[in-house]
Structure 1
């Protein structure tokens, strides 16, 4: 019985984690090796996007869709 319920429980947990991946907000981390003068470079730990900002602190919005469009 336990061997029957275990895959179902694992499947439900995996589905819930996959479903909520788009809901997660960006978690910006400073990347000081990429700073350019007054612009500070940040990389998102959740989606991998990179962004530059001239103000103190990380960007406010997710930049995941920028720069990936075909020409």
Structure 2
């Protein structure tokens, strides 16, 4: 019984870590310091071309390409 509970807990932990960062999995953010605006840092996604500004440390946590019109 203890072995089964251990497997369930291990499965849950693996599922949580596998899901972490799924919103930006396809995005490869690169910082573009030439476009910074004050304390906002500009980032550009090398995969889809989306641009985003963040005030927090590090790249955006969600993909910004959703809802954009397709490029012609």
TM-score, normalised by the number of residues in structure 1: 0.58
Distance in 1 of aligned mates of 2:65 and 2:57 = 21
Partner of 1:61: 62
Gaps of 5+ in 2: 1-24
Structure 1: 5+ residue stretches without partners: 1-23
The 5 Å alignment of 1:13-28 reads 25-28=26-29
Alignment of 1:1-71 (within 5 A): 25-66=26-67, 68=69
Residue 37 of structure 2 aligns to a residue whose secondary structure is: coil
Give the match's secondary structure for 2:30: strand
Moved over 2 A (4+): 65-68
- Classify the secondary structure of the residue corresponding to 1:58: coil
Aligned length: 45
RMSD: 1.4
Superposition TM-score, scaled by structure 2 size: 0.57
